[in-house]
Amino acid sequence: MGHIELDLTMARLGSGTSEMELRCVMGNIEVTVPPDIRVVCDGDAVAGNFEVERVGNTTPPPDAPTIHITGTVYLGAVTIRIVDPNAPSFLKKLKAWARGEDVG
């Protein structure tokens, strides 16, 4: 019954697969992952959502470490955001749109 943000952008994972199990009841969990980590997501949601959101170029290298995220959501949301740090921010996109430019 709250909000949790897990920022893994500065985390250093060893080779192979790391596991993370999340349980969310009437709340929100947001996990931010850098694009150089492969994400496998197997979550179940009951009256909620368990989703992966990609921002920017998020293709990991072939030898990238893997994080396997599992869990269950009840009346809440789990969002795994894979974010490219070089992707333009919302504000930059808005300014480019106002000038009629294409940011991508």
- The residue among 22 and 12 whose pLDDT is bigger is 22
Three-state SS letters, the chain: CCEEEEECCCCCCCCCEEEEEEEEECCEEEEEECCCCEEEEEEEEECCEEEEEEECCCCCCCCCCEEEEEEEEECCEEEEEEECCCCCCHHHHHHHHHHCCCCC
CA geometry: angle 21, 22, 25, nearest 5 deg: 150
- Tell me the pLDDT tens digit for each residue of 42-55: 989 999 999 988 87
Domain ranges of the chain: 3-99
- Tell me the pLDDT tens digit for each residue of 61-101: 888 899 999 999 999 999 999 887 766 667 777 788 888 87
Q: What is the pLDDT of residue 76?
A: 93
Q: What is the pLDDT of residue 69?
A: 94
